[in-house]
């Protein structure tokens, strides 16, 4: 996929909030917590119909929506700088509107097949206990990011054939000398100190030392 100028972390976060908010409102919350349902997916509360109720109010929706867009945001870093706007829009909408809600239903809904709240059918007599609900968020975001990075491949032009980082066509060495024994001694500071401090390199310095 082609790199687009719009794709900065702030832009992807705004898109996750906007698209994620819309699709989680229309479908996601229902798929996640639409009880009574089966163990795989919820089937009530589409578009927050019948909300607020005795079980949920709008604060519950906002709380769960924040988790959904967090999962989408984890993935955005894995596919940064090589994803078209439309492709990222589709991904963000699908993840927050379907993928993440279904997985969260499994573990957090009272009907989920692995949920610790499903007291009538506990998996291994305990269900899955997801402390602070961080497991589902990072598992979904991490797996989606892994597949995204695998499908899209590396960022073209950011690394050379040896794996070294490249900026504007110039090879950049690892800056802290403390961790790079091969770093040339002529890069020492003029005062003779070499306590592992970072050293800024300009383009002329880098070009003159291949």
pLDDT at 12: 80
Q: Check if the beta carbon of residue 108 is closer than 8 Å to that of residue 32.
A: yes
Cα–Cα separations (whole angstroms), residue 136 to 58, 103, 105, 142, 176: 22, 7, 10, 10, 37
Integer Rg of the chain from CA: 24
Span of 73-82, 97-106, 166-175, 179-188 with lowest mean pLDDT: 179-188
Ordered by start, the domain boundaries in the chain are 9-152, 166-208
Cα–Cα separations (whole angstroms), residue 137 to 27, 67, 101, 192, 198: 18, 6, 10, 49, 35
> Mind listing the pLDDT tens digit for each residue in 44-101?
889 988 887 777 788 888 989 999 999 998 988 888 778 888 888 899 999 999 999 9
State pTM to two decimals: 0.70
> Mind listing the pLDDT tens digit for each residue in 136-156?
999 999 999 999 989 888 777
Give yes or no for residue 197 having a pLDDT over 80: no
pLDDT at 79: 85
* CATH numeric code, 9-152: 1.10.3430.10
Phi first, then psi, for residue 160 (nearest 5°) are -85, -175
> Mind listing the pLDDT tens digit for each residue in 7-51?
555 578 888 888 888 999 999 999 999 888 899 999 888 998 888
């Amino acid at each position: 996929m082609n790199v687009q100028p719009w794709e900065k972390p702030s832009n992807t976060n705004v898109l996750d909030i906007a698209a994620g908010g819309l699709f989680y409102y229309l479908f996601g919350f229902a798929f996640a917590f639409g009880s009574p349902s089966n163990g795989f997916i919820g089937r009530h509360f589409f578009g927050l119909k019948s909300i607020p109720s005795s079980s949920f109010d709008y604060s519950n929706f906002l709380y769960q929506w924040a988790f959904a867009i967090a999962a989408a945001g984890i993935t955005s870093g894995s596919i940064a700088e090589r994803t078209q706007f439309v492709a990222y829009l589709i991904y963000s909408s699908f993840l927050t509107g379907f993928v993440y809600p279904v997985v969260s239903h499994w573990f957090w809904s009272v009907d989920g097949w692995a949920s610790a709240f499903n007291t009538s059918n506990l998996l291994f007599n305990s269900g899955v206990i997801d402390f602070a609900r961080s497991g589902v968020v990072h598992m979904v975001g991490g797996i989606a990011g892994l597949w995204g990075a695998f499908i899209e491949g590396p960022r073209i032009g950011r690394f050379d054939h040896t794996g070294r980082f490249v900026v504007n066509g110039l090879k950049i060495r690892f800056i802290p000398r403390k961790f790079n024994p091969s770093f040339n001694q002529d890069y020492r500071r003029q005062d003779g100190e070499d306590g592992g401090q970072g050293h800024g390199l300009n383009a002329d310095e880098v070009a003159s030392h291949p």
